[in-house]
Amino acid sequence: MTAYGKALSLVETPIPGLVVMELPVHGDARGWFKENWQREKMTAQGLADFGPVQNNISFNDAVGTTRGIHAEPWDKWVSVATGRIFGAWVDLREGPSFGTVFTTELDPSRAIFVPRGVGNSYQTLEPDTAYTYLVNDHWSPNASYSFLNLADETAAIEWPIPLAEVEISEKDKNHPRLADVTPIPPKRILVLGAGGQLGLALREAYAGAEHVEFVGRAELDVTAPGLRDARRWRDYGAIINAAAYTAVDAAETAEGRADAWSANATAVANLAAVATEYGITLVHVSSDYVFDGTKAGAYTEDDSFAPLGVYGQTKAAGDLAAATAPRHYIVRTSWVIGEGKNFVRTMASLAERGIDPKVVDDQIGRLTFTSDIAAAIRHLLDSSAPFGTYNVTGDGEAASWADIARAVFSTVGADPERITGVSTEEYFASAAGPISPRPANSVLALEKLTAAGFAPTDWRDALRTSLAAGTGT
């Protein structure tokens, strides 16, 4: 019997992401009414905002009609219009919850959200039963599906009506047992800029993860027309944009200006459009150069943009574009150190060769190693942290570039007094070609990141580890 007068509420199940929703049903002598799908109220309860694109109805005239167990590569919202059903769900996704079973009855006052890859099956308990389901993708012959036999001994589902007594299709009768099921893989993650410093660190962070795809511009040019058709985007759960134009001074030239705007703004706008259309999480890497560096304290994620040069302007434009995607993480960082040529490697080499450099001492910030950025990105995605902007830099006391150079010299056993501090103006006084202005203060506040459960490494500890491993020399 349908239960009237319930309050809208969400109930967790043993299968991650599979949630039961108790629905208010209003009835009298004329019949009943309910809000079968109410996005605003239901997402406020914690239901995923899964973006349905199709509504299907399954009508069953006989008691005992049994369908399943089918796992599809989309999310599904199942509710009953008339009658009553027994439902059984089995997690067929790759991972530790594979094979977990949950069963319950559904009537017009109870619905269930079935996440992608969870096998679903239904047995009617009343005649003339109809249930509806919303899905957030269209059927495709190129998608990955999985099936489980209704009588699987491992799942051991206790069907109210024995399977020998009910109507089952021949196809459903012949599905494999759990030991032979092909698990549904997780949605893919696309990493752009695979050959750059951060791209290489992300390869390490996702080592062995077959669902992560790394591409460079040769494989996918996100500034070119046709991006929408370049992939089956419904198969992707996240795009990590580790690609960028980072030649800060060259961006002040006519050619560099065009390239910077193309890579740092136009490309991001294109990615945001795809992410919005297909419900993909967009991870975009930002920069301290979106600020002018005049603030007295550390910059927070909410401070207003005030870029000084072309590079900073294009990065600010990219941030604004990325933020249009409903599911986005803007990872703002500074003073990045990764594989290849970098400041730490250069200072260590100078120390070894007996060269005493002049280093800027009127810019302050913290080193940020790409391994920390990659780990933070994976943490945000894996933990489903609230979407938005997060500052990601090394932790610890802020320092000038000259201070960092002295730390490098000390760590490799050289005399730090060999470093001479100079102003930015003096350092670039004899430079040929245009020079982009630098923010004097590049310190970014880390409280939001740590509140999300990620503890960045103190930059001095990371520096020592890098030099000991030989990656900074």
Q: Provide the angle, in degrees to the nearest 10, between the axes of the packed helices 310-322 and 267-278.
A: 10
Two structure tokens written together for 86: 């027994």
List strands edge to edge, sheet with 212-215.
212-215, 188-192, 236-241, 281-287, 328-333, 388-391
Q: Which residues are identified as catalytic?
A: 70, 133
13-28 per-residue burial string, b: 16 or more CB within 10 A, e: under 16: bebebbbbbbbbbeee
Q: What are phi and psi of 118, to 5 degrees?
A: -90, 125
Contacts of residue 218, Cβ cutoff 8 Å, sequence gap at least 6: none
Two structure tokens written together for 9: 């509420």
